[in-house]
Amino acid sequence: MSAQTVIVGAGPAGLAVAAMLGQRGVAYTILEKADSVGSAWRDRYDGLRLHTVRWLSALPGAPIPRHYGPWVGRDDLVAYLEQYAHRFQIDPEFGVEVTRIEREAARWRLETSAGNREADIVVVATGYSHTPYVPEWPGRESFPGSFRHSRDYREPSNYRNRRILVVGAGNSAAEIAVEVAGVATEVWLSVRTPPNIVRRDIFGLPIQVVGIALRHIPETLMNPLAGMIRRLSVPDLSAYGLPAPPGDGFTQFLRSRTLPILDHGFVAAIRSGRIRVVPPVESIRGQEVRMVDGTILRPDDIIAATGYRPDLEQLVGDIGVLDESGFPKVHGAHTLPGAPGLYVVGISVELSGLLREITREARDVSSRIAALPA
């Protein structure tokens, strides 16, 4: 009797693993709580484009069509994922949410919304950006205007002639701020830690290629290299409240798990004054938002582009596979002695590009699973 394999999640990582297992003749079940593949991507804002170049973002076995352009948009990526599932005859069980995974005797028990399942092998592919994170600012519930996470932002027309506070220092925050700056009366960007900023491409070379080339360089060398890349590609923004990280830009990335902002309009919007950088939020009292330096802002609306969490504690928090921050200790084909047969794919932040790493991890995991004794 062959080992029973369950994949949790039908986003890019789950689809890639399913495709590679199918090619190797390994039977599997794929469970997805939504009603379609790639559901997390469908829910993002209209103007979203991949920050990784098309030819380095394809899942294994199927290139992304050239006519989608070098920087693939949200709707085109969703179409690609649908085509990918069809091409590899991937048929997820939709509407089935896995709520907990536990070791029971020599197998895994999965508690799901459709009853318990058992498996010999489980691949967790629920995605890095699983659960929106919003800081618990004092008085947040008293704000009278619209307050939403970036997950619920779609396009800027509702913000015309309004004063908008965007909170965050990642790519979503930068891109949303640029969009609403085109229609709003005023846009503030609240930043806690000045982000790394690089151009999306340098002299025609996608910055992702640089990230791939440098991924194995030691941290002590990467910090000065990151600083040099910033100086070569982005003007000094210290006067606008966005100084470069103080010599430890790569260490900051490792610590915060926040990718550099890839500039395609953000720097110009900062320098022109269309976006004004302000300190972190301290508290909210009605329409008044107090910043940590004592400044009071009175925005009409707040968009919290404050990121996501994998939110794995409830799912696998009792079996020793998460670190103190709640992130997986191992990825790809690696497992832990206390959790044999449990693999994690696509739950990380990578300078080389997450979709590219998903391809590598999916191939490694499928090879490992196929080699296991029946």
Q: How confident is the model at residue 1 (pLDDT cuts 50, 70, 90)?
A: very low
Token digits of residue 53? 């170049």
264-273, long-range: CB within 8 Å, 24+ apart, which pairs? Answer: 264/199, 264/200, 265/178, 266/174, 266/175, 266/177, 266/178, 266/197, 267/197, 267/234, 267/235, 267/237, 269/177, 269/178, 269/181, 270/237, 270/240, 270/242, 271/235, 271/237, 271/240
Answer yes or no: is pLDDT of 210 > 60: yes
DSSP 125-172: ---SS-EE-----TTGGG--SEEEEGGG---GGGGTT-EEEEE-SSHH
**How far, CA to CA in Å, does 172 sit from each of 8, 86, 180, 203, 256?**
26, 30, 12, 24, 15
Q: What is the pLDDT of residue 309?
A: 86
In angstroms, the CA 281 to CA 231 distance is 29
Average pLDDT in the 342-352 region? Answer: 88
Distance CA 373, CA 11 (A): 28
pLDDT score of 255? 65
155 within 8 A of 46, measured Cβ to Cβ: yes
Domain spans in the chain, listed from the N-terminal domain onward = 5-130+310-371, 133-304
In the predicted model, is pLDDT for residue 2 greater than 60? no
5-130+310-371 — its CATH code?
3.50.50.60
User: Does residue 7 surpass a pLDDT of 60?
Assistant: yes
* pLDDT (tens digit per residue) in 20-49: 999 999 999 999 999 999 999 998 999 999
Mean per-residue pLDDT, 3-9: 93
Output the pLDDT for position 306.
94
Q: Is the pTM of this model over 0.75?
A: yes
Section 97-113 average pLDDT: 95
**Domain 133-304, what fold?**
FAD/NAD(P)-binding domain (3.50.50)
Decide whether 5-130+310-371 matches 133-304 in CATH topology.
Answer: yes
The pLDDT assigned to 214 comes to 67
Collapsed DSSP state (helix, strand, coil) of residue 35: coil
